[in-house]
């Protein structure tokens, strides 16, 4: 799954969660109205239901904000600005072209690069020019 698809899925998820919490708060509001109309003798129920409504409304607002954030991020990924920002090139500081004859692609492994084998792994063959083998070889001291 591409990052953009993941972010869109996150936005959709948070929209669904926001709708759920808004519906829960609305249903609790109806329950509160029924309680007030019936003039029930349950003390403190008004405050409890009002607190419940406030909490669900606040969570719905948070889900809405995050869904908007995800949607903006997904849009930035689709138009390329998000990837450029991640790569540290949001200020227009793209890679400068190399002079003639140079390349960013390295065809061979540099000589100062060395693979370190894991314990028990067989020796990794190294390509060393014959004229330099004596310089890099290690002689056993026996």
Q: What is the pLDDT of residues 39-73, one digit of tens each?
A: 767 777 888 888 889 999 999 999 999 888 888 88
CB 67 within 8 A of CB 15: yes
Total domains in the chain come to 1
The answer as to whether 37 is a domain residue is yes
Give the model's pLDDT for residue 64.
Answer: 92
Instruction: Tell me the pLDDT of the chain averaged across its residues.
Output: 77
The answer as to whether 121 is a domain residue is no
The answer as to whether 120 is a domain residue is no
Mean pLDDT of 76-92: 62
Give the model's pLDDT for residue 140.
Answer: 62
The answer as to whether 98 is a domain residue is no
pLDDT class of 94 with cuts at 50, 70, 90? low
Percent residues over pLDDT 90 in the chain: 12
Q: Is the dihedral of CA 96, 100, 102, 105 positive or negative?
A: positive
Give the model's pLDDT for residue 81.
Answer: 63
Q: Which domain holds residue 39?
A: 3-86
The answer as to whether 55 is a domain residue is yes
Q: Give the whole-angstrom CA distance, residue 95 versus residue 125.
A: 35
- 125: Cβ contacts below 8 Å, ≥ 6 apart: none
Give the model's pLDDT for residue 82.
Answer: 59
The answer as to whether 19 is a domain residue is yes
The answer as to whether 58 is a domain residue is yes
Q: Which two tokens stand for residue 8?
A: 């869109």
Give the model's pLDDT for residue 60.
Answer: 92
CB 32 within 8 A of CB 49: yes
Place of tokens 């995050």: 66
Q: How many CB atoms lie within 10 A of CB 63?
A: 20
Query: Which stretch of 26-30, 70-74, 87-91 has the lowest confidence by average pLDDT?
Result: 87-91
- 114: Cβ contacts below 8 Å, ≥ 6 apart: 126
CB 66 within 8 A of CB 17: no
């Amino acid at each position: 799954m591409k990052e953009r698809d993941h972010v869109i899925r996150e936005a959709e998820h948070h929209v669904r969660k926001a709708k759920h919490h808004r519906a829960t708060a609305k249903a609790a509001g109806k329950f509160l109205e029924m309680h007030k109309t019936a003039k029930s003798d349950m003390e403190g129920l008004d405050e409890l239901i009002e607190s419940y409504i406030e909490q669900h409304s606040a969570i719905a607002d948070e889900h809405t904000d995050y869904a908007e954030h995800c949607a903006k991020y997904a849009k930035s990924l689709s138009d390329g600005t998000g990837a450029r920002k991640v790569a540290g090139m949001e200020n227009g500081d793209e890679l400068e072209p190399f002079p003639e004859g140079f390349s960013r692609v390295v065809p061979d492994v540099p000589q100062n690069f060395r693979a370190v084998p894991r314990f028990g792994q067989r020796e990794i063959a190294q390509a060393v020019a014959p004229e330099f083998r004596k310089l890099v070889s290690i002689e056993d001291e026996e």
